[in-house]
């Protein structure tokens, strides 16, 4: 950059006749420490505040002319010089100010040391911006690290190649890209550059160079430059594969049992085998290659389906008086018809018929045995219908299996939609009890009908009663399991009767006198805080203790984020079976959106959203655009609400949150210490999912704490 762009042109101008007073007034007015003395348009010299001080010491009068204070040996620079040329002149002259002159040696302005620094910093910033833009638009991926192997920056190519985002900055290369660790460590410790090393990554192949970064003769970091050669290697591999496939195709066609012929898109024969030559009694391939198939084999009809890119299978024709089965298949590339392949079965058709019948018989047997195997497999694992991968759910299923072997009452708690009924059904199946699994939703049945639902009624118990009476749920569940869902909504009067049945294992029907003895396993479930209901007098304390023998709590979906992908896959597979669709799954964007949602309706809500999106999806994968608008609006509203809430947090609440965070940090550190650093075991100790633990480790920077304390 040029000097003129950073010169102070509003300079102070004096003459030989100016007095000390006038000079001081000029300094104060212009707020400067230096002034140019000009006579007849020519620079005579400069006056600085220091030369003025010395003059005042010798001549205290303010009316004294400044002539003795003028410095005539002035360091000057030209305005069209570069900043670096100006820097060298000022350093050589050992001055902090220089007078800037025009091409005709007229005074243009004053350049101070701060002006020079500002200009050089601006140029450095400009160069840095250019360098950043250059790196960002390089086709090669560039990643830089510091001496601690933490990622400091990366360009767009690296972001696309490795799916980096802003959170990648500051992470260790050991965890993000461990493949490059050894080479980068070598460059950091030796200062050597490693060039053109071929490295295979999970999804690509790259040529990598590892370059140390020097600053003031010290290595401050390193960078890796990666050229993605996946496409080049793919092309080379495809060429090699094409050659191999050509040889394989030639061999396959040649050894085919029946006649095979291949044509281009206009019907010219390009390949054929010996079987086709024998069928039409040709002696050599030269007689047919390049000729129209309609001329060589007029018996083979040209179907319009080939133009429509559809295959024709199993058509019976006669060739030279021999019955044959013809199959025609189009060859498609980039959605364009490039040829067709014809297969003609003409040898020992009676043998083929018997073989096909035998295959059909075997397929029927296989279908039968597959169904039987599924039944046996389902019996072996009574909780196979509960889809999960998280350690917390695995632990819950093990506890449920243990509970199934006992005779005690089980209380299942959890939010609405978490799958309490599925756990209860699994416990019943695992218990081996010969009776039925009977379900009662205490919240769905009117209170006045609950008693008759539970205990049944005798003949003539009330007006409109069924003749002969009706058995209740307890009788139906004899020797089996009675599942009381939403037990927190059971009225107090019925709670007392239920407690009696649990204790005495006997009851009477409504309006009846006969005592009925039953052997029933009770599993209760609720999404409410039963103990709070006890405190409020809405639930009997003795009944609470009677049903809360074995307590199983199902975690909400927001604590099982790792289960969301397999749950989506399970629901889509189930819906594919019910419909004629073949949707393959959901996009990563949908998974990311699902894992950021609170899920007040838990798994039931997830299934409903997947089902709605399934019906509106006409592609292979469910994308964000297929999700319900109210669901997307809820996510948007929650995000806006969270931002607004964060803005209104006061200082006292901040301090309380800091205390909570500090306590949580200590608990996590203790769990990691007990688990000897094993994060899966630590997550089990804490009762949270592994993904939640990883997020909290990152939130509290626990990795850095462990690294510091281990030194």
The domain defined by 244-347 folds into: Beta-Lactamase (3.30.450)
- What is the pTM (predicted TM-score) of this model? 0.41
**Cα 15 to the center of its chain, rounded Å:** 74
Q: Of 354, 344, 249, 352, which Cα lies nearest the Cα of 297?
A: 344
pLDDT of the residue at 709: 43
Query: 612 to each of 332, 617, 625, how far by Cα in Å?
Result: 35, 9, 12
What six digits make up the tokens of 487? 């037990």
Q: Of 323, 142, 107, which Cα lies nearest the Cα of 222?
A: 142
Q: Of 455, 453, 533, which Cα lies nearest the Cα of 492?
A: 533
Contact call for residues 644 and 652 (beta carbons, < 8 A): no
How do the domains of the chain map onto residue ranges? 3-122, 138-228, 244-347, 391-553, 577-647, 651-709
How many angstroms separate the CA atoms of 116 and 495, rounded? 88
Neighbours of 237 (CB within 10 A): 11
Tell me the three state secondary structure of residue 637.
Answer: helix
The domain over range 138-228 is classified in CATH as 3.30.450.20: yes
Name the residue with tokens 């010169």. Answer: 7
Q: Which CATH number fits domain 577-647: 1.10.10.60, 1.25.40.10, 3.90.1150.10, 1.10.8.60?
A: 1.10.8.60
Q: Give the dihedral sign, CA 252/255/257/260.
A: positive
The dihedral over CA atoms of 396, 402, 403, 406, expressed in degrees to the nearest 10, equals 180
pLDDT of the residue at 480: 93
- The hierarchical CATH code for the domain 3-122 is 3.10.580.10
pLDDT of the residue at 348: 63
pLDDT of the residue at 304: 55
What six digits make up the tokens of 69? 């204070």
H helical segments located in 180-255:
181-190, 230-254
Burial class (CB in 10 A: 0-12, 13-18, 19+), 408: exposed
**Mean pLDDT, the chain cut into blocks of 10 residues (711 residues total):** 87 88 88 88 88 84 87 90 90 89 90 88 81 76 89 86 87 87 87 84 82 86 85 71 72 72 87 85 88 85 63 76 81 84 76 52 45 48 81 90 90 92 92 90 82 82 67 90 92 88 88 87 93 92 91 92 89 88 84 90 93 88 89 76 47 51 75 83 77 77 51 34
The domain over range 391-553 is classified in CATH as 3.40.50.300: yes
Give the orientation angle of helix 690-699 with respect to helix 679-686, to 10 degrees.
100
Contact call for residues 283 and 277 (beta carbons, < 8 A): yes
Q: Of 246, 274, 251, 276, which Cα lies nearest the Cα of 342?
A: 276
**Element (DSSP H or E) covering residue 642:** helix 629-647
Query: 123 to each of 85, 214, 216, how far by Cα in Å?
Result: 14, 21, 20
> Domain 651-709 is of which CATH architecture?
Orthogonal Bundle (1.10)
Q: Of 435, 429, 434, 437, which Cα lies nearest the Cα of 401?
A: 429
Neighbours of 634 (CB within 10 A): 14
**Size of the chain, expressed as the number of residues it contains:** 711
Tell me, yes or no, if the two domains 138-228 and 244-347 fold the same way. Answer: yes
């Amino acid at each position: 950059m040029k000097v003129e762009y950073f010169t102070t042109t509003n300079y102070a101008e004096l003459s030989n006749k100016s007095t000390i007073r006038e000079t001081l007034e000029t300094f104060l007015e212009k707020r400067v420490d230096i002034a140019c003395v000009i006579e007849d348009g020519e620079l005579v010299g400069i006056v600085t505040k220091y030369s003025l001080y010395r003059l005042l010491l010798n001549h205290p009068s303010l009316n004294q002319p400044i002539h003795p204070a003028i410095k005539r040996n002035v360091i000057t620079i030209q305005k069209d010089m570069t900043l670096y040329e100006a820097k060298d002149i000022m350093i050589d002259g050992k001055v902090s100010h220089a007078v800037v002159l025009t091409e005709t040696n007229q005074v243009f302005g004053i350049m101070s040391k701060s002006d020079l620094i500002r200009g050089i910093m601006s140029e450095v910033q400009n160069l840095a911006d250019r360098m950043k833009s250059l790196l960002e638009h390089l086709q090669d991926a560039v990643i830089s690290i510091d001496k601690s192997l933490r990622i400091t920056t990366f360009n767009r190519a690296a972001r696309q190649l490795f799916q980096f985002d802003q959170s990648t900055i500051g992470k260790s290369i050991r965890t993000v890209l461990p493949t490059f660790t050894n080479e980068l460590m070598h460059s950091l410790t030796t200062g050597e550059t490693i060039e053109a090393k071929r490295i295979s990554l999970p999804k690509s192949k790259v040529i990598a160079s590892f370059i140390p970064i020097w600053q003031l003769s010290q290595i401050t970091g390193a960078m890796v430059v990666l050229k993605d050669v996946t496409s080049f290697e793919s092309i080379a591999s495809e060429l090699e594969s094409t050659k191999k496939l050509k040889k394989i195709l030639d061999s396959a066609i040649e050894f085919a049992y029946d006649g095979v012929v291949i044509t281009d898109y206009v019907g010219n024969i390009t390949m054929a085998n010996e079987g086709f030559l024998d069928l039409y009694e040709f002696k050599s391939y030269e007689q047919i290659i390049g000729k129209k198939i309609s001329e060589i084999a007029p018996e083979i009809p040209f179907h319009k389906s080939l133009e429509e890119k559809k295959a024709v299978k199993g058509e019976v024709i006669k060739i030279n008086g021999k019955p044959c089965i013809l199959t025609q298949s189009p060859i498609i590339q980039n959605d364009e018809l490039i040829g067709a392949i014809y297969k003609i079965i003409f040898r020992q058709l009676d043998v083929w018929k018997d073989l096909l019948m035998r295959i059909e018989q075997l397929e029927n047997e296989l279908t039968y045995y597959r169904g039987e195997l599924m039944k046996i497999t389902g019996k072996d694992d009574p909780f196979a219908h509960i889809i999960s991968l998280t350690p917390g759910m695995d632990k819950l299923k093990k506890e449920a299996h243990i509970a199934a072997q006992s005779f005690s009452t089980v209380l299942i708690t959890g939010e609405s939609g978490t799958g309490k009924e599925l756990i209860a059904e699994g416990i019943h199946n695992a218990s081996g009890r010969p009776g039925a699994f009977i379900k009662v939703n205490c919240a769905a049945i009117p209170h006045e009908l609950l008693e008759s639902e539970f205990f049944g009624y005798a003949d003539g118990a009330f007006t409109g009663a069924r003749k002969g009476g009706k058995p209740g749920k307890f009788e139906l569940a004899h020797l089996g399991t009675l599942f009381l869902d939403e037990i927190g909504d059971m009225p107090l009067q019925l709670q007392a009767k239920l407690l009696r049945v649990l204790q005495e294992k006997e009851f009477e029907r409504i309006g009846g006198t006969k005592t009925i003895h039953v052997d029933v396993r009770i599993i209760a479930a609720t999404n409410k805080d039963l103990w709070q209901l006890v405190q409020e007098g809405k639930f009997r304390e003795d009944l609470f203790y009677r049903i809360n023998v074995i307590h199983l709590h199902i975690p909400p979906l927001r604590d099982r984020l790792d289960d969301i992908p397999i749950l989506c896959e399970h629901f889509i597979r189930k819906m594919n079976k019910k419909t004629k669709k073949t949707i393959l799954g959901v996009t990563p964007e949908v998974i990311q959106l699902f894992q950021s949602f609170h899920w007040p309706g838990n798994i039931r809500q997830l299934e409903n959203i997947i089902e709605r999106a399934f019906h509106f999806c006409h592609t292979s994968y469910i994308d964000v655009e297929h999700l319900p608008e109210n669901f997307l609006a809820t996510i948007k509203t929650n995000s806006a609400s969270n931002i607004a809430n964060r803005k209104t947090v006061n200082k006292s609440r901040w301090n309380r949150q800091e205390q909570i965070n500090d306590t949580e940090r200590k608990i996590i550190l203790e769990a990691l210490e007990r688990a000897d650093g094993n994060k899966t075991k630590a997550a089990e100790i804490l009762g949270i999912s592994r993904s939640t633990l990883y997020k909290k480790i990152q939130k509290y920077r626990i990795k850095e704490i462990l690294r510091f304390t281990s030194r």
